[in-house]
């Protein structure tokens, strides 16, 4: 784990799914699926802040380098003017 040894090591040797354009096909599929689901939700619902959400947001402490909000509540209202369905 010394810096000299780390420099000799191939940077991709500990990446089990690979790196670059030929990395795991499952990763690209999962990212595409998440994007499609997000587009569907945004296209079919108006997402608004719920009255239960505290402003300003409170964050959990003790997380290693992560900024994680404590509680966020949203209201999802079905759209009448669905831009995707047209």
13 is in an annotated binding site: no
Within 8 A by CB and 6+ apart from 46, the residues are: 76, 77, 78, 79
If you search the block for the tokens 């780390």, which residue do you land on?
6
Token pair for 12: 């991709």
Which residues are annotated binding-site positions for heme?
A: 24
Which residues are annotated binding-site positions?
A: 24
């Amino acid at each position: 784990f010394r810096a000299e040894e780390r420099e000799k090591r191939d940077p991709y040797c500990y990446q089990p799914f690979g790196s670059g354009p030929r990395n795991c096909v499952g990763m690209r599929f999962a990212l595409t699926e998440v994007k499609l689901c997000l587009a569907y939700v945004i296209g079919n619902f108006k997402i608004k802040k719920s009255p239960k959400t505290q402003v300003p947001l409170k964050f959990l402490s003790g997380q290693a380098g992560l900024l994680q909000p404590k509680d966020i509540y949203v209201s999802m209202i079905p759209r009448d003017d669905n831009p995707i369905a047209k």
